[in-house]
Chains A and B, each alone.
Chain A
Amino acid sequence: KAGVTQTPRYLIKTRGQQVTLSCSPISGHRSVSWYQQTPGQGLQFLFEYFSETQRNKGNFPGRFSGRQFSNSRSEMNVSTLELGDSALYLCASSYIAGGSTDTQYFGPGTRLTVL
């Protein structure tokens, strides 16, 4: 089974621009979660989608948004980029959603640099 794939792997943007990141979950997985990882704040939960509906959202501004398509693929969008948005953005998929012991499978991440 193919793992979680994320595209692009690396991205450089300038302040004020917007960016869209893509995540393809493992086949059969219906839950997709997004995380931001930075050296200062560590790994922080952004949001989770299940069956095209956002189920949970972390404490991030409205500039961060996402969506999930009927094939479970997900995209996240960050508008009006700030320098502090530079981070590794990780996507994780799981078979079901909401369980505290669900096994999440992470993709390799998209490294976003904002100049």
Chain B
Amino acid sequence: TQLLEQSPQFLSIQEGENLTVYCNSSSVFSSLQWYRQEPGEGPVLLVTVVTGGEVKKLKRLTFQFGDARKDSSLHITAAQPGDTGLYLCAGPPGYSSASKIIFGSGTRLSIRP
């Protein structure tokens, strides 16, 4: 069974600090996506990475796809209270799975003013 493990599960930091969230698997993924979900809302897609070693930047957020396409990271620089939310990585499973997409367990991020 393909799994996506995220760490840490919870993270509470002060505004202005930097942080990194990890998404790891023992399986290769053809692509990985990162979502942010705020309370009372559905997840919103932040980025899709498709090439091993790929780095994408979205303002203060930097996403990296591992060379072997088994892991990904999300780095936030100078975190702001608006970054608070549940961060989810997701990817298409292998051929053995009927599921269209699998999600990691999520990292709940809280930025204190």
Which one of B44, B45, B92, B103 contacts A43 once the chains associate, using CB atoms below 8 Å?
Answer: B103
- Smallest Cβ distance from A15 to chain B, in angstroms? 26
8 A Cβ contacts from A55-97 to B: 55-59, 90-92
Knowing A43-B103, A48-B100 touch, does A106 contact B40 (C-beta < 8 A)? Answer: no
Contact of B31 among A43, A57, A101, A104 (CB under 8 A): A101
12 example contacts (A-B, Cβ-Cβ < 8 A) are as follows A4-B42, A33-B101, A42-B106, A45-B99, A55-B100, A58-B100, A100-B91, A101-B33, A103-B48, A104-B45, A106-B44, A108-B42
Residues on B facing A (Cβ under 8 Å): 30-31, 33, 40-45, 48, 50, 88, 90-92, 98-106
Q: Give the interface of A toward B (CB within 8 A).
A: 4, 33, 42-45, 48, 55-59, 90-92, 98, 100-101, 103-109
